[in-house]
A and B are shown apart, each in its own frame.
Chain A
Amino acid sequence: MFLEIKKLRVKGDKREILKEINLKVKKGEIQALLGPNASGKSTLAQVILGNPKYKAIQGKIFFNGRDITKLSPEKRVKMGMALAWQSPPVIKGIKLSQLLKKISPQEIKIPDGQMLLEREINLDFSGGEKKISELLQILALKPKLVIFDEIDSGLDIKKLEMVAKIIKKELVDKNISVLLITHWGQILEFLKPNITNVILDGKIICQGKDFKKILRTIKKYGYEKCKKCPLLAG
């Protein structure tokens, strides 16, 4: 197994955010993680990449056969993990091109990417520009597994299609594992995940191969009634 999360429990400042998460991602596989607001999606992504803000109180994370539960974020990145942030912070005074040079000497080109290079990172970026900037950085990292945290939020349908095409061409077609975290699931239509998971209140409550069926169920019952859905049993 490429990425394996075993019985992971994570505490935030006040409460337990993730409750016994189990997740397995194979090499070259696309998985989706669906969930409502505050269900623990972004926390899980940050924990997988080792954000020291969150403390794992139980469980382990393995990547490429190695226990990485206590590794620093930069070491995880060096091993081939990458995370595209949902709301990346502004880095004042530093141009995107400066950061890209630090990440990799190789120039990365994607549509709409060039015009962001000489701007300060994420300063006054539109929602779409932030996603392009994240994609540029992710591709520069040459990862083996990428987590996209709501890469489809705030994008119009044309931009969404463009982003999905880049992910397919640069990552999926190169056998790189992808975990798509999404609230509404728009991007799934373009990337067609092998497995789709649903997270609710810090627990993965559902997993299935047919993402369309899961999306239909969520649309019909809503996340709040997700526990009652017929897929949960099987």
Chain B
Amino acid sequence: MKNVKNVHYWQVDHKIKRILTAEKVIVLTSPEAWKKFKWSRKWFERKPKEGYFVWVKKPINFPLAACITIASPKISQNLTNLLIIEKGIKTQANVVCNAAKSNLCGIHKAKGKIILKDSASLEYNHLHQWGKKDFVNPDYEFILGKDSRLIYTYKNLFPPENLLLKTTVQNNESSSSNLNFIINSINSKVGIIDKVNLFGQNSQAIIRLRLVGRKNSYIEAVSQVAASAISRGHLDCQGLLVDKTAKISLTPRLICQNKNAQLTHEASIGKISEEELNYLRMRGLTEEEAINLIVIGFLGSGESGIYNN
């Protein structure tokens, strides 16, 4: 997070560094919200120990921002997060979870619920950046009200030693969800389980996975779309193996319980094309630079300088 002055919730280890609340947006710690708003308990399921509560009550013209960091060795975070967007409100959330150093051996567990009420719209950018010995387990559920829209992008270019990422989306009537998982795995084990339930009439979902397997990495992804109403769903899972020690397992799963629902998928795992590699080398890029550029293009991030470290 470049400018912490704009961050609405900032936690380092277990300590709250900053909370920015306003009339239109209520920001609290989850334990405070549990005490203050009894109605929130049905979403929390059990009493939270730490984490953020963000309630967008009225339209806002700025993005929400949260930053959760592990900065000390052997910290174990156990977060319960709740984000509620009221009816008809359109907003963006940028959430960064990271380790300040690469050798902290931290644990980051986050159970989150994101509620989009009817006709609400959310673009949620979730950026993870971890150390080599961390264990990370985000488990998020998105509940989409009628006519609501979700674009969720999870990006992890610096994975921990062990990442287990669970995401569930419940699509109500005429709602749409667009999920993007962008993961570059190196010296790490990554498990991805994402499920979308299309139970609302005319709901739709797209899940897009872009996974890169580098040295000593194993990625296992199970992507599921289930339709019980007239709806449309598509899975697009693509893996790129960059190193001979990498392994990727992709399982696209379609479950259809409505004869008028339309579910499709495409899945592929490939290696870097020699032709592309040699082409870029003939533009003066070293083999490593050429691979990185191809990987950046594959991940669709279009960013530069992310592999400098």
Which size bracket describes the interface of B in this complex? Answer: 20 to 34
User: CB within 8 A of A141: which of B283, B289, B301?
Assistant: B283
Interchain CB contact under 8 A, A94 and B289? no
Give the Cβ gap from B157 to chain A, nearest Cβ, in Å: 14
Interface 1/0 per residue, A73-116 and B, CB below 8 Å: 11001100011010011111111001100110000000000000
Q: Name the interface residues of B260-309: CB closer than 8 Å to any CB of A.
A: 273-276, 278-287, 289, 293-294, 296-302, 304
CA distance A88 to B298 in the complex (A): 18
Residue in A closest to B278 when the chains form the complex, CB atoms: A51
A197 contacts partner chain B, Cβ-Cβ < 8 Å: no
CA distance A49 to B304 in the complex (A): 27
A53 contacts partner chain B, Cβ-Cβ < 8 Å: yes
Interchain CB contact under 8 A, A88 and B285? no
A137 contacts partner chain B, Cβ-Cβ < 8 Å: yes
Secondary structure of the B side of the interface? helix
Interchain CB contact under 8 A, A78 and B284? yes
Interface 1/0 per residue, A138-181 and B, CB below 8 Å: 00010000000000000000000000000000000000000000
A-B pair number, CB within 8 angstroms: 72
Interchain CB contact under 8 A, B278 and A91? no
CA distance A49 to B294 in the complex (A): 21
Interchain CB contact under 8 A, B293 and A85? no
Give the Cβ gap from B268 to chain A, nearest Cβ, in Å: 13
Give the Cβ gap from A229 to chain B, nearest Cβ, in Å: 34
A222 contacts partner chain B, Cβ-Cβ < 8 Å: no
Secondary structure of the A side of the interface? mixed
Give the Cβ gap from B184 to chain A, nearest Cβ, in Å: 13
A52 contacts partner chain B, Cβ-Cβ < 8 Å: yes
Chain A residues whose C-beta falls within 8 Å of the C-beta of B296 in the assembled complex: 93-94
A64 contacts partner chain B, Cβ-Cβ < 8 Å: no
CA distance A52 to B282 in the complex (A): 11
CA distance A53 to B274 in the complex (A): 8
CA distance A92 to B301 in the complex (A): 11
Give the Cβ gap from B297 to chain A, nearest Cβ, in Å: 3
Q: Name the interface residues of A199-229: CB closer than 8 Å to any CB of B.
A: none
Interchain CB contact under 8 A, A85 and B302? no
Chain B residues whose C-beta falls within 8 Å of the C-beta of A77 in the assembled complex: 281-284
CA distance A83 to B300 in the complex (A): 28
Interchain CB contact under 8 A, B279 and A85? yes
What are 13 sample pairs from A and B whose C-beta atoms fall under 8 A apart?
Answer: A73-B278, A74-B287, A77-B282, A77-B283, A77-B284, A82-B282, A94-B294, A98-B302, A99-B283, A102-B283, A102-B285, A102-B293, A141-B284
The 6 closest A-B pairs by CB, nearest first: A93-B297, A94-B297, A73-B281, A77-B284, A89-B275, A73-B282
